[in-house]
Structure 1
Amino acid sequence: MARRGQRQSGETRTAPRAHRGARAFGNDGVIPVLARAVRGVEADAERGPVKPSSRTKFQVVALLVREERARVKADETITESQRGEQLKRLDGVATILAKTAARDTSLLVLLAEDAVISDAARTLKRDMLLAGGMEPPPEEVVVAPPEDAAPAAAERRVVPQSVISRQLANPFQVPDFVNVEPRAPRQHHLATWELLGPLFRAFEYGGASSCMHLPEPASLQAPAGLELMPHQAQVIAAAAKGHRTFLLADEPGLGKTAQALLAAQAANAYPLLVVVPNVVKTNWAREAALWTPNHPVTVIHGDGETIDGFADIVVVNYEVLDRHVGWLGDFGFRGMVVDEAHFIKNKTSQRSQHAIQLSERIRARVSRPLLMALTGTPLINDIEDFRAIWQFLGWIDDKKPTASLMASLEEIGLTPVDPGFYPAARTRVIEQGIVRRRKVDVAADIPARRIADLPVELDDAVGRSIREAEQELARRLVARYESALATRTSGIVVEGIDHELVRRVATWEREDTTTAQSGENVFSMMRRIGQAKAGLAADYAAQLSRNVGKVVFFAKHVDVMDVAQDTFAKRGIRYSSIRGEQTPKARQKNIDAFINDPDVAIVVCSLSAAGVGLNLQVASNVVLAELSWTDAEQTQAIDRVHRIGQAEPVTAWRIIAAQTIDTKIAELIDSKAGLAARALDGSDVEVSSSADIQLEALVALLTEALSESL
């Protein structure tokens, strides 16, 4: 970042020395600009929800604090005392940012490394730099485009090479008008009425079930090894019979992902676009491979260099949607799903605008595409949260109901001044495709206890370090194996992998206490993975608590619990904590707070201290932030919630670090759980110990490494 006195062309002019010094260390420079800006944001937050302009200012201040801190640390022209003074002032700005984010936790998403930076933010950043006497680098200079040019945001957009290949293979996409419905004669008694307000108010009055009429499924057929529940099959049957828009608002844990995937299959809505939060992107790909194995799935990461342009299902997260919205709109999708659809409730946000834009472009080409909005909490703040979701589904536009809903409302024969209009209108909107079932309503259809894996990707430096350490552990195991093979004196020769020797090598590794000094072992690997997952697991628990109420959060290590508690505090979520170092009195006080205080949303529990002897059935959702070494320990934790007196089915959300040994551990725990069940049914197979899981994880790691080298 150059000083303002430096021209972009490379020419320089030198300001007087005294002036440069005053700018850097006096009341000039960029730091006072940041201080004034952050005070304005803080004042806005104190008055209520932060306005869009202040949100932009908040993000820009955070970006410039990071950049200025790095510049100050690297500046060799200033003294240590001057450097310390500037860093202290930057810390003051950062403190105000943190306090403001704690007041309005929705600001936290703007601090993420992959947060979208709008054109307005870029312009404001440039202006702040100039106001502080700094010359913005060339890429930060915003040049007004010609009037006929594409929007500036398009400059950041990409088109992956595999998508270009698909377009070249099928250059002519014929619009699909096969399913166009004949237009019925229109009535006009509602033509002059403002209807969106009355439609929203119709839902404020409440009423009967918020679920459209669903057909009874002909069968519960599902891919081999999977079970389809009756309530899930109803939605799939509706799609098979021709219904094409769904606000699927089932409570979390009722299998919305499977319903959406199988509904797309029933409607032949391929290619299918799925827009999801980043934390569940990997899980969607996994679920698609399970429920619709004959339809290839691809996931967009970053600029999309690795995607399969010929896949049937394309999964993209909200955070990178702006980069890909251009080619996605021209891809020829016949269906679109938005998961956690309450993410698009703010129509002024970029992700909401992109989602609605893509929906409109799909509907412009396909007469009746499959459009599904999935959310357990369709309403967050007020009834107007419906607006963006309904517009995405094509039920309304900016000002009025669209043709299908309008025709249905005309059939009522009433206007908003008639008392009977509101319940009737509510029913007509619901029949457009609102599906809402609670766990308690379908309890007979689902297991009383369910473990749901939620894979997360560790894409940062910590994640790369963990994968490198895992590779080093595998190399050490291979070296042990090859050394044992080379020094074998028995004369036994085994073709391929000697699995008996593999098990012996894994046993040596598990029992070797010196590896902790020379490199990673399986214990330290799992601890590092737990630390890396901590923030993601806490984010999911926070979101879950807002969706379903009280949540029990389990972790093995104190540092993971600390990260979780810090996350909840920053988001303004009240929690209690159960740890081993607590006195009995403090422990019971925290238990009582979670059970009896409706404002305490989460209890953070140590697996060892709270895994047994507690009754936490006030909750029905458990987050397992770290994996146990035994299925018994995992089951004991879940049983704090899943016990006699529990009125609702229990879901345990197990956070798994994808592409690490974490996945192997999870698979082993599940396989041992099956053995344990058989043992309880009369088999003589012993229930596995923690040592078995550790040993089998090392066996799997070594076997995989040897297989790759053959």
Structure 2
Amino acid sequence: MARPGQRQRGARRTAQRRVHHRGDVVSVLARTAREVEAAARRGRVTPAVRTTFQAVALLLREERARVLAAAGSDARRAEQLKRLDGIATVLATTAVRDAGLLALLAEDAVVSDAARSRRRELLRDLGIEPAPDEVVPAEPATAPPGTERRVVPQSVVSRQLANPFLAPDFSAAPQRTPRPRRLAGWELLGPLLASFERAGGGAPACAALPSPTARFTPAGLELMPHQGQLVAAAAAGHRTFLLADEPGLGKTAQALLAAEAADAYPLLVVVPNVVKRNWAREAARWTPHRPATVVQGDGETVDGFADVVVVNYEVLDRHVGWLGDFGFRGMVVDEAHFIKNKTSQRSQHVLALSDRLRSRTPRPLLMALTGTPLINDIEDFLTIWQFLGWIDESKPLDELMDALEDTGLTPADRGFSAAARQCVIDLGIVRRRKVDVAADIPARRIADLPVELDGAVGRSIRAAERDLARRMRARYETALANRSAVVEGVGSGVDTDLVRRVARSELKDATTGQSGENVFSMLRRIGVAKAGLAADYAAQLARSAGKVVFFARHVDAMDAAEETFARQGVRFTSIRGDQTPAARQANVDAFVGDPDVAVVVCSLTAAGVGLNLQVASNVVLAELSWTDAEQTQAIDRSHRIGQTEPVTAWRIIAAQTIDARIAELIGSKAGLAARALDGSDEEVASSADVQLEALVALLTDELRTAAGHEAASAS
């Protein structure tokens, strides 16, 4: 019989064998990933499938890290990594079918308790007992603010240590002497809400604004008059705004320049993920002297010395601590209807930051941006009013209460409702419609909205683009070496003629299907990856501004968009090339005639001509056209005779990819086409021109980058 010491040593040896024998991990991960893929193909992405998907993604990352850190031969490690990359590809292609799965691949995705539990089950099925520190206790499903995982970016710590004068000074926090209240005993929030409900849809909901100013507009840019009015109000001392202009009227520029006029820096901007990058781009455009930084994930790339800090709702929980102590003098909440549910964590975090800002900063700038009309579901705006400091949980706060007192009325008086509504509006409600400022804005406007392709899908697309550039570079260098062998005195710079020949050859191979990953397949992958983000933005537009026309080029991008609309409860119809004329007309009639059908999903090639969709004044271009003419044809489905409102086309562009290059090329070719139509001798650009120029730009950048690396190595 074994002695106790022998039994303990034997148990330890058995546990070690079970913990470190991981030969079957990759096989199990591959099999489980294929099961999830099959479920996604069948359209049966249940909560259990999502849980398993995230558990596999977690284990895949862990196994990859273990392989990279383990001792052994390079060949063995390369073989293991190749197998893991294959599983990653399966996950990425599966996620493209479902935006919910795609979100789980993001590095900052919240890991659910169910996914942690499923991960442990998979490990135990393999005979691998999770280490004690891997067993994470479950957190309450509705953890109150203050209990979540919090981070402080290192650059923020560096900012605090670099210069003590940068530390926020809260000594000037406003102190107010209370005054007697005639209305102190009245319940006022209900009558305030009722004052908006009784006003009806035709009643104006816009505060009086001063004449527009251009004093804070950068050189070379121009504000529209209605934008300049709000900036002038901020310059005159107004500090709270519920800016509810319709989409397309430039709320972002107004907010940034209002902050400039109010000297409200540092400025915190809380936004949905889909517009996060656009805010940084607009800040660089409208306030170029104010550095902006975007908070990604745990904030490793945050610039702690920036004047504008942009953070999305999804990661706000982990950053709310240091954001509250940063010393902001202004705060903007974009798509403010996102915080209408006061019990949600995102709303509580936004309100906590607002309270902290108002308690520490004299007269901070607070702006809530939303295109949703105030006359719809007015109770949803209680949280926004609370963010702006107009009310608290139960009553109006000082500024609004003073205004109500000055009316001399009580809720029992006949004129109280109209007077109370005006008091709220005067605090800073600004609502302009396109039709109201039609003279100020172009009849047709194209607005670019850059989005970031995060997670495994984004990394895969960027890797494919690098591979394409390197393949063309290898072809270029081979041709250059062969030519240099027979020609003396060849220069060391980039041979632009050879670059174009290589690009033309690559384009020919791509057209005939002789190359692997090419410009066409990459644009298709990018389109599918963008589709969920584009659909999410289109859904926001539909809720705030009415019907939306949504264009995509590829069928799988249209499928992904329609899945997003269905999941969000947005009613839609579609126009595709495989429809019969009768079905096509029925879908057009549904979009035009049914007020509940908010979106029509259109094929760029099948619906770009011959349709009248002027019932909508917002168009979303989820995938780019190859020519400006094709893009214009699509926009003109809404921008046509009979349209009573200016039309805005929103181009969704994948930042830091070839998608952005093509967007620039289409814009440059548009001017060329216009000159040609005006009688110039210039030749109108074709789609092949844009495709060729995109490859030329890609190869040129690759050659210059390689030359820079060689120069750095030589030095």
1:414 aligns with 2:409: yes
**SS of 1:444 mapped into structure 2:** coil
Equivalent runs, 1:292-303 vs 2, <5 Å: 292-303=287-298
**Is the 2:50–2:101 Cα contact (8 Å) retained in structure 1?**
no
Alignment match, 2:186? 193
**Match of residue 203, structure 1, among 196, 202, 214:** 196
With the length of structure 2 as denominator, give the TM-score of the two structures.
0.80
Aligned to 2:697: 700
Alignment match of 2:649 (pick from 625, 647, 652): 652
Alpha carbons 1:339, 1:374 under 8 Å: kept: yes
Tell me: CA distance 1:70–1:409, structure 2 relative to 1, closer, same or farther (3 Å): closer
Q: Which amino acid aligns with 2:193?
A: F
Aligned counterparts, 1:655-666, within 5 A: 655-666=652-663
Q: Which residue of 2 aligns with 1:435?
A: 430
**Alignment match of 1:597 (pick from 587, 594, 598):** 594
Q: Which secondary structure state, in structure 2, belongs to the residue aligned with residue 347 of structure 1?
A: coil
Map residues 60-75 of structure 1 onto 2, 5 A cutoff: none
- How far residue 227 of structure 1 moved from its aligned partner, in angstroms, is 2.5
State whether residues 414 and 421 of structure 1, in contact with CA within 8 Å, keep that contact through their aligned partners in structure 2.
Answer: yes
Residue 91 (structure 2) aligns with? none
Residues 257 and 196 (structure 1), Cα distance of their counterparts in 2 relative to 1, 3 Å cut: same
* Alpha-carbon offset, residue 141 of structure 1: 2.0
1:234 corresponds to which residue? 229
**Structure-1 residue corresponding to 2:445:** 450
Question: 183, 199, 209: which one pairs with 1:214?
Answer: 209
- Structure 2 vs 1, CA of residues 639 and 646 (structure 1 numbering), >3 Å: closer, same or farther? same
The aligned residue for residue 319 of structure 2 is 324
Shift of 1:566: 2.3
| Aligned counterparts of 1:671 and 1:68: Cα–Cα separation in 2 | 46
Match of 1:486 among 469, 481, 489: 481
2:518 to 517, 521, 525: 521
Where do residues 58-97 of structure 1 align in structure 2 (5 Å cutoff)? none
379, 384, 392: which is aligned to 1:384? 379
169-178 vs 276-285, which deviates more? 169-178
Native 8 Å contact 1:60 1:125 kept in 2: no
- Give the C-alpha shift of residue 62 in structure 1: 7.8
Q: Does 1:535 align with 2:532?
A: yes
**Equivalent pair of 1:59/1:111 in contact (CA under 8 Å):** no
> Could you say if the C-alpha distance between residues 364 and 654 of structure 1 is closer, same or farther in structure 2, counting changes exceeding 3 Å?
same
CA 1:324–1:70 in structure 2 vs 1: closer, same or farther (change >3 Å)?
Answer: closer
Is the counterpart of residue 362 in structure 1 residue 357 in structure 2? yes
Are 1:689 and 2:689 an aligned pair? no
CA distance 1:60–1:682, shift in 2 (3 Å): closer
Alpha-carbon distance, 1:342 to partner: 0.4
Q: CA deviation at 1:370?
A: 0.5
Residue 346, structure 1, aligned to residue 341, structure 2: yes
Q: CA deviation at 1:680?
A: 2.9
Which of 155, 175, 193 is the matching residue for 1:162? 155
1:681 CA displacement:
3.3
CA gap of 1:143–1:569, structure 2 versus 1, over 3 A, is closer
Deviations 1:355-411 (A, max 9, x none): 010111111111101010000016596221111101111111111111111111110
Q: What CA distance in whole angstroms lies between the structure 1 residues aligned with 2:46 and 2:199?
A: 39
Number of the residue aligned with 2:6: none
For 2:464, the equivalent position in structure 1 comes to: 469
For 1:298 and 1:638, the matched residues in 2 are separated by 33
CA distance in 1, matches of 2:515, 2:532: 29
Q: What corresponds to 2:668 in structure 1?
A: 671
Aligned residue number for residue 20 of structure 1: none
CA distance in 2, matches of 1:359, 1:649: 35
SS of equivalent residue, structure 1 residue 600 = coil
Deviation at 1:176, TM superposition (A): 5.5
Could you tell me which residue of structure 1 aligns to residue 169 of structure 2?
175
In the other structure, the counterpart of 1:26 is none
Residue of structure 2 equivalent to 1:271? 266
Letter in 1 for 2:331: M
**263, 287, 308: which one pairs with 2:282?**
287
Is residue 553 from structure 1 mapped to residue 541 from structure 2 by the alignment? no
Q: Quick one: distance in 1 between partners of 2:104 and 2:359?
A: 36
Alpha carbons of structure 1 residues 242 and 285: separation in structure 2 relative to 1, 3 Å: same
Q: Give every structure 1 segment of 4 or more consecutive aligned residues whose post-TM-superposition deviation is greater than 4 Å.
A: 10-14, 58-73, 107-118, 121-126, 133-139, 150-155, 176-183, 378-381, 489-492, 513-518
Q: Partner of 2:439: helix, strand, or coil?
A: helix
Tell me, yes or no, if the aligned pair for 2:612 and 2:637 is still in contact at 8 Å: yes
Whether contact under 8 Å (1:109, 1:115) holds in the other structure is: no
* Counterpart Cα distance in 1 of 2:253 and 2:533: 23
Q: In structure 2, what is the Cα distance between the partners aligned to 1:577 and 1:417?
A: 52
1:610 matched to 2:610:
no
CA offsets 1:152-171 (integer angstroms, 9 cap, x no match): 84461000000001111244
Cα deviation for residue 300 of structure 1 reads 0.5
Return the alpha-carbon distance in structure 2 between the equivalents of residues 350 and 210 of structure 1.
Answer: 29
The separation in 1 between residues aligned to 2:103 and 2:466, in whole angstroms, is 34
Q: Per the alignment, in what secondary structure is the counterpart of residue 539 of structure 1?
A: helix
User: Which amino acid in structure 1 is aligned with residue 327 of structure 2?
Assistant: G
| DSSP-derived class of the 1:594 partner | helix
Distance 1:374 1:386, change over 3 A: same
| Partner Cα distance (1:684, 1:518) in 2 | 36
Task: Find 1:140's aligned residue among 112, 132, 136.
Answer: 136
Which stretch shows the higher mean deviation, 162-171 or 281-290?
Answer: 162-171
Moved more, 286-295 or 205-214: 205-214
Aligned residues of 2:145 and 2:348 also touching (Cα < 8 A): no
1:141 is matched by which residue type in structure 2?
P
Question: Are the structure 2 counterparts of residues 565 and 64 from structure 1 closer, same or farther at C-alpha, using a change threshold of 3 Å?
Answer: closer
Q: Which amino acid aligns with 1:324?
A: H
Contact 2:106–2:454 (CA<8 Å) still a contact in 1?
Answer: no
**Cα distance in 1 between the residues matched to 2:643 and 2:658:** 34
Which segments of 5 or more consecutive residues in structure 2 lack a partner in the other structure? 1-10, 16-44, 61-97, 708-715
Write out per-residue CA displacement over residues 100-145 of structure 1, whole angstroms, 9 at most, x where no aligned residue: xx9xx9x999989689869xx869999xx99xx999976532699x
- Matching residue's letter, 2:399: S
Shift of 1:60: 9.0
Greater Cα shift, 679-688 or 486-495 = 486-495
The DSSP-based 3-state class of the residue aligned with 1:141 is coil
**1:94 counterpart residue number:** none
The answer on whether the counterparts of 1:473 and 1:521 sit within 8 Å (CA) in structure 2 is yes
Letter aligned with residue 318 of structure 2: R
Alpha-carbon offset, residue 572 of structure 1: 2.6
Aligned residues: 616
Q: Do residues 254 (structure 1) and 249 (structure 2) align?
A: yes
Counterpart for residue 304 of structure 1: 299
Q: Distance in 2 between matches of 1:298 and 1:110?
A: 22
- Corresponding residue for residue 40 of structure 2: none
Contact kept in structure 2, 1:247 and 1:434, CA below 8 Å: yes
1:574–1:599 contact (8 Å) kept in structure 2: yes
Sequence identity (%)? 70
With over 3 angstroms needed to count, the CA separation of the structure-2 counterparts of 1:580 and 1:597, relative to structure 1, is same
The secondary structure found in structure 2 opposite 1:250 is: coil
- Structure 2 equivalent of residue 33 of structure 1: none
1:658 CA drift (Å): 1.0
Distance in 2 of aligned mates of 1:386 and 1:72? 43
1:218 CA drift (Å): 3.8
TM-aligned CA distance change 1:178 to 1:630, over 3 Å: same
